[in-house]
Amino acid sequence: MFETNFLYKTKKGKAVVGDSLELMKSMPDNSVNLVMTSPPFALSRPKEYGNKDQADYIEWILEFTKEVQRIITEDGSFVIDLGGAYQKGSPIRSLYNYRLLISMCDEQGWKLAEEFFWYNPAKLPSPIEWVNKRKIRAKDSVNTVWWLSKSDFPKADIKNVLTEYSDRMKKLIEDSAKYYTPKKRPSGHDISDSFGNDNGGAIPSNLLQIPNTESNSKYLKYCKDIGIKGHPARFPSKLPEFFIKFLTDEGDLVLDIFAGSNTTGWIAQQLNRKWLSFELDHQYLSASVLRFLDKEPFEDVRPKYEMLQFDKNAEIDAEGFLKQSVLFEPEAINISRNARPKRRANV
């Protein structure tokens, strides 16, 4: 797909400038294993990255979700990150993210596989009027992340995202008889002696605590070096990392339809998945190549960026200046190195 008219490519994927709604229409049915994205949120105040007004948001985004449903595989998944918002001029919360979910399920036939909540402990207090000035609301630091599918049983393997056991659980595993006696709980759950087995790690909850603290990232450093703005609304790499590991296998295709600075494509590259990234803003997507650059002197960075910024269909093969080693630490969502199972080979 997209053999021509792309901005840059690697051996694993391509970054394409354009309207993702139109780009998806050129893709075949059942061709994508995971769509992972964070669209512009329906905020009450306009942002520089082009968010939609709350009144128009649901109708607008439903056009995209309809195409996503067509292009994902029968066992594929759609993961959409949506930030919360207040009603304009009022300390009352907007329900746009919940209304969108209900519309997707009721009108388009999506299945809600599970709702996730991304807690960002590093988020600054907002909105200023209700939280900082009048002090009548708590800090809004949780995004809703809807995991949707076409079928009741989308591909998923929780063993790929096990978290590190707690210290107490580690002690129980070492000596189950000392710390635990199998019995029926007051809740009615019958906990057997297998509770003390070492299964490689703990099953994560649907509350993902991931601080968004990438202000010192290489991407932003290079943006500063060449005098351009980095994308202002980046989600942390650990968020797509979790879902890509959870919902796909190596060699699967991952698509981000609102790519921004191409965090999703970059992580998919590291995890040996194929990827496509669509972004309407040429400058943001051009700058996204900086995520892939090796540590180079400043004078070597600018020409690479300018090649991409000159032509939205530059068709640059970026493989020659990509960093091939792993660029992130996989334990940042408390994924233990010992907890990660060996991935089965593709067949």
Assess whether 204 carries a catalytic annotation.
no
| Placement of tokens 């202000």 in the chain | 215
Residue whose entry in the numeric block shows the structure tokens 């195409």 = 67
Q: By C-alpha distance, which of 250, 316, 321, 264 is closest to 292? A: 321
38 in catalytic set? yes
Q: Is 336 a catalytic residue?
A: no
**DSSP line for 96-126:** HHHHHHHHHHHHH--EEEEEEEEE-TTPPP-
Q: What string of DSSP letters covers 217-252?
A: -HHHHHHHHTT-PPPSSPPPTHHHHHHHHHH--TT-
Which of 20, 38, 77, 261 is catalytic? The answer is 38
Q: Which one of the listed residues 39, 154, 236, 240 is annotated catalytic?
A: 39
Cα Rg of the chain, angstroms:
22
Catalytic option among 20, 40, 81, 236: 81
Q: Are 218 and 295 in contact (CB under 8 A)?
A: yes
Q: Which of 307, 264, 313, 261 is CA-nearest to residue 287?
A: 261
Catalytic residues, by residue number, are: 38-39, 81
